[in-house]
Chain A
Amino acid sequence: TQLLEQSPQFLSIQEGENLTVYCNSSSVFSSLQWYRQEPGEGPVLLVTVVTGGEVKKLKRLTFQFGDARKDSSLHITAAQPGDTGLYLCAGGNAGNNRKLIWGLGTSLAVNP
């Protein structure tokens, strides 16, 4: 059974700090998606990584897919209150969205 473990579960930081959250598995995935979910809303896709070692940047957010395609990290530089939310990772295999494996998420609070 494929599992995705996210850490930390909760994170509360001050505005301007940097942080990294992790998404780890013992299984190989063909792709890894990161979503952010704000209170009262559905998850929204941030990025998809598909190549081992791939690094993608989205403004202050940097996503990395592990060389072995078993893990991923999300680094936020100079966090802002607007970054507050639940960060979810989802691992998948080619052409099979039904089999997306979801992590439980990291709940991030950025305090002004």
Chain B
Amino acid sequence: NAGVTQTPKFQVLKTGQSMTLQCAQDMNHNSMYWYRQDPGMGLRLIYYSASEGTTDKGEVPNGYNVSRLNKREFSLRLESAAPSQTSVYFCASSEFARSSYNSPLHFGNGTRLTVT
């Protein structure tokens, strides 16, 4: 059982280049998330998808776009990378039940992105 799989693990981009980070989960979870983690800033939500077919902005969406391709896959696209987007990006998934307490998040192992 792989859980949440992210690709690539490492990436170096030049300013202005574009790329897509891929994420897939095999736990049949409804909700998926993209976070970035930076020293001194902690985990910040970029975008989230409560269920297949829906996406919503998080705390820091500027410069990013997402696609919920199907229930398993949720991709994050940087159209024109900037040095401020140098970070570690994590994809996560969870069950979603509106009337229940927060379901735990299951994280992938991250993509380490450097923009020069």
Contact = CB atoms under 8 A, between A and B. Distances in A.
A43 B42 contact: no
Give the secondary structure class of B's interface: loop
Interface in B12-64: 31, 33, 40-45, 48, 50, 56, 58
A97 B107 contact: no
Interface string B49-90: 010000010100000000000000000000000000000001
B1 interface: no
Point out which of A90, A94, A98 has the most chain B C-beta atoms below 10 A from its C-beta.
Answer: A98
Interface residues of A, number: 26
Contacts of A98: 33, 45, 48, 50, 56, 58
Q: What class of interface size applies to chain B in its complex with A? A: 20 to 34
B40 A104 contact: yes
A42 B90 contact: yes
B104 A105 contact: no
Interface stretch (A17-25, A44-52, A59-67, A70-78): A44-52
Given A30-B101, A48-B104, A50-B101, A102 B42 contact: yes
Interface string B96-109: 11111111111111
A95 B97 contact: yes
Interface string A7-48: 000000000000000000000001101010000111111001
Given A31-B102, A41-B109, 9 more contacts: A42-B90, A42-B92, A48-B102, A94-B102, A95-B100, A97-B33, A97-B105, A98-B33, A100-B102
Interface of A: 30-31, 33, 35, 40-45, 48, 50, 88, 90, 92-98, 100, 102-105
